[in-house]
Amino acid sequence: MHAASRPLTRRTLQAAAASFGRDAPRAGSGRVDLADLLADPYADPHDAEYRLARAERRLFAAGDRRAVFLTVYGAVTSRVRRELTGSASPTPSGSART
């Protein structure tokens, strides 16, 4: 479900959007509360990635289409975390990004 484990590409973005197409989950009952996950500042990029993924799963389980935004934001956050820790994928030329 969470795209953060894969590179952010046109295909992963299309897959995230398609997950909310004709076969979208039925809306859950009541309001989805995310305050416990998103109210406090993130401690570090790993904390941000973890809490965004949990929020995404809550929205998805409730049938809330806003989950797709967290799918994309989570993928971007994952990429930023990898860049900051130096574990990013090599560039097409074969050299690591700086």
pLDDT tens digits for range 55-70: 998 888 888 888 889 9
Q: What confidence score (pLDDT) does residue 87 get?
A: 66
Q: What confidence score (pLDDT) does residue 33 get?
A: 83
* Number of neighbouring beta carbons within 10 Å of residue 30: 7
Mean pLDDT of 19-35: 61
Q: What confidence score (pLDDT) does residue 3 get?
A: 45
Domain boundaries, the chain: 3-17+34-85
Q: What confidence score (pLDDT) does residue 43 get?
A: 92
Alpha carbon of residue 94 to chain centroid? 27
* Higher-pLDDT residue of 54, 1: 54
Q: What confidence score (pLDDT) does residue 98 get?
A: 46
